[in-house]
A and B are shown apart, each in its own frame.
Chain A
């Protein structure tokens, strides 16, 4: 079975541009979460989606948005990119919303570099 798939794997963007990152969850998983991992830090929670609805949002500006599609895949959009948005963006999928109950499987991430 395929794991969590993220695309692209690497991306270079210029300040002020917009970027879209994509995530396909494990088959049967209905919940997708996004995390940002800046170099040298632990991942930080950005969003959680379940059944196409936003279920949680971390402390990130409105430049960050996401959505989940009927097939449970998800996109993370970041507008007006800043140098500080350079990070590894991780997607995690789960059967349900409770991370403790169901556990999450992470993808390999998209490494975004803003220049």
Chain B
């Protein structure tokens, strides 16, 4: 069975701080995909990144970066110089086939 664990339930930081959201996953599939989504209070899940299991290169997109480590089954997400607009719930998700398995999410609050 597939499982995603986001151990941090809530994180609160002050604007301009760096923050890392942790994600640990379990799967028996050799080919799988990992995702991060942002969910603002409006409810829509906003896609941030997709990674396949064969690509372990870290990725940077502006203030966002992702660290994929297959050896530790982790796919962590770092926001550099956080802003108030980054406040949201962030979900890590995993799929091997047709369905996404989500973690419980980490609520990030960035205070001015």
Contact = CB atoms under 8 A, between A and B. Distances in A.
Interface of A: 33, 35, 40-45, 48, 55-56, 58, 88, 90, 92, 97-100, 103-109, 111
Interface of B: 4, 31-33, 37, 42-45, 47, 50, 52, 91, 93, 95-105
Contacts of B37: 106
B104 A42 contact: yes
Contacts of A92: 45
A97 B44 CA distance: 21
Contact of B44 (A40, A41, A42, A107): A107
Contact of B104 (A41, A48, A90): A41
6 contacts: A42-B103, A55-B98, A99-B33, A99-B100, A100-B33, A100-B96
A44 B102 CA distance: 7
Nearest to A103: B50
Tell me the dominant secondary structure on chain B's binding face: loop
A108 B44 contact: yes
B96 A103 contact: no
Contacts of B98: 33, 48, 55-56, 97-99
Most A CB within 10 A of own CB, among B45, B47, B52, B91 = B45
Q: Give the interface centre of A33, A45, A100, A111 by most chain B CB atoms within 10 Å.
A: A100
A113 B91 CA distance: 23
B47 A105 contact: yes
B43 A42 contact: no
Nearest to A44: B102
Given A42-B103, A99-B33, A99-B100, A109 B43 contact: yes
Contacts of B44: 106-109
Contacts of B103: 42
